[in-house]
Chain A
Amino acid sequence: MIEVIVNITLLILLVILAFAIIRMRSLFTVIMLFSGFSFLSAGLFVVMDAVDVAFTEAAVGAGISTILMLATLALTYSPNIVKEEEHPAHKPWLPLFVVCITGALLIYGTTDLPDFGDPNAPAQQHVAPYYLGKSMEDTGVPNVVTTVLASYRGFDTLGEVTVIFTAGIAVLLLIGGRRKKTKQEKQDET
């Protein structure tokens, strides 16, 4: 019972935040609200007993990505430009229509899905019973999430680490090195 109340409260707060983000024009405020949004999602994951995911969401979504977004905002800062999102030039009706139709279709699609937490759902019947039953015997590690990530699905995690590494290289290549001065700037200096 209490779980339902917590879930509903968190979801209502998420909706309120989402609307606040839409209405807000100041980019700084939007970034801070995004951070709050991530943190609330982390709370939601905790309620769903997905502690490892919640941990990641709180650390990455609410923490690091907020810092990086703020850094980007500072990077693009110019004293002449007001840091406000401009009002869109077009009318909102077509995007609103598309979003509503897509949302309705997605909700219609959920009626075919198994119930939340249903033990007979196909996703729970594939390899999950083996992992849950055998992981202690196979590896001696109590945290099944770690077992799946590091041992059973070690290849996937290797791929993930490579992706992160590649992202780091990409950032270095794009904005890491010293910027070449344009001709105009060279002229200004001399």
Chain B
Amino acid sequence: MKHNLILRIVSKFLIPFIFLFALYVQFHGDFGPGGGFQAGVIFSAGLILYALVFGIDIAKQIIPPTLLRLFASLGVLIYAGTGIASLIAGGNYLEYGVLGSTQIAGQHLGILLIEFGVGLTVMSVMLIMFFAFTERHKED
């Protein structure tokens, strides 16, 4: 699809908005519909669109597969780590209330952190899957 001018221009125009929307869904999940899971999928959709239009190899230069594997584990680690942090702060596992100065502040912080972890893992895993499938295709 490298020679398809309209597709290139339109996706160039669209991709920043897809990323922006993903970030909005990620951090506005407390107030509107959405959250880490949806945001991760939307973010990876933006990158997949980029990979489809401009080529897999260029997309891999932007976000190398090794980095993706790191991110996927990091997301789970952030989530589980938030639980450990609340243990250390004197609460139960994943009891966010103790993380902040007040119950509400702690809950906000905790939810923000674990949603970020979810988003990171989902985004990375979706891209790992996509790259795995396309990589295999290229070899044959």
Count how many pairs of residues, one from A and one from B, have CB atoms less than 8 Å apart in the complex: 137
Contact indicator per residue, chain A 56-73, by CB within 8 Å of chain B (1) or not (0): 100110011001100110
Taking a contact as CB atoms closer than 8 A, the residue among A64, A74, A158 that contacts B126 in the complex is: A64
Number of interface residues of A (CB under 8 A): 44
Interface secondary structure of A, over-half rule: helix
Using known A-B contacts A158-B80, A171-B129, determine if residue A71 contacts B134 with beta carbons closer than 8 Å.
Answer: yes
CA distance A14 to B114 in the complex (A): 36
Residues from 99 to 140 in B contacting A, C-beta threshold 8 Å: 103-104, 107-108, 110-111, 114-115, 117-118, 121-122, 124-126, 128-130, 132-137, 139
From A30-38, A106-114, A121-129, A146-154, the one touching the partner chain is: A146-154
Contact indicator per residue, chain A 150-190, by CB within 8 Å of chain B (1) or not (0): 11001101101110110110011001101100000000000
- Asked if residues A63 and B111 are in contact (CB atoms below 8 Å), the reply is no
Taking a contact as CB atoms closer than 8 A, the residue among B35, B76, B117 that contacts A149 in the complex is: B35
CA distance A172 to B110 in the complex (A): 30
Taking a contact as CB atoms closer than 8 A, the residue among A56, A141, A172, A175 that contacts B37 in the complex is: A56
- Asked if residues B33 and A168 are in contact (CB atoms below 8 Å), the reply is no
Q: Give the distance to chain B from A151, nearest Cβ to Cβ, in Å.
A: 6
- Asked if residues A172 and B133 are in contact (CB atoms below 8 Å), the reply is no
Is B12 part of the contact surface with A, judged by Cβ < 8 Å? no
Residues of A within 8 A of B42 (CB): 59
CA distance A68 to B48 in the complex (A): 11
- Asked if residues B117 and A176 are in contact (CB atoms below 8 Å), the reply is no
Is A145 part of the contact surface with B, judged by Cβ < 8 Å? yes
Residues of B within 8 A of A9 (CB): none
Taking a contact as CB atoms closer than 8 A, the residue among A55, A59, A64, A141 that contacts B111 in the complex is: A141
Is B57 part of the contact surface with A, judged by Cβ < 8 Å? no
Is A84 part of the contact surface with B, judged by Cβ < 8 Å? no
- The closest CB in chain B to the CB of A53 belongs to B33
Q: Give the distance to chain A from B86, nearest Cβ to Cβ, in Å.
A: 10
- Asked if residues B133 and A75 are in contact (CB atoms below 8 Å), the reply is yes
Taking a contact as CB atoms closer than 8 A, the residue among B25, B45, B137 that contacts A75 in the complex is: B137
Residues of A within 8 A of B137 (CB): 71, 74-75
CA distance A51 to B25 in the complex (A): 13
A-B residue pairs in contact (CB < 8 Å), sample of 7: A74-B133, A75-B136, A138-B107, A147-B111, A150-B111, A151-B111, A165-B73
15 new A-B contacts at CB < 8 Å, known A64-B48, A171-B129:
A56-B38, A56-B41, A64-B45, A75-B137, A139-B108, A143-B31, A154-B114, A160-B118, A164-B121, A165-B121, A168-B128, A168-B129, A172-B69, A172-B132, A179-B136
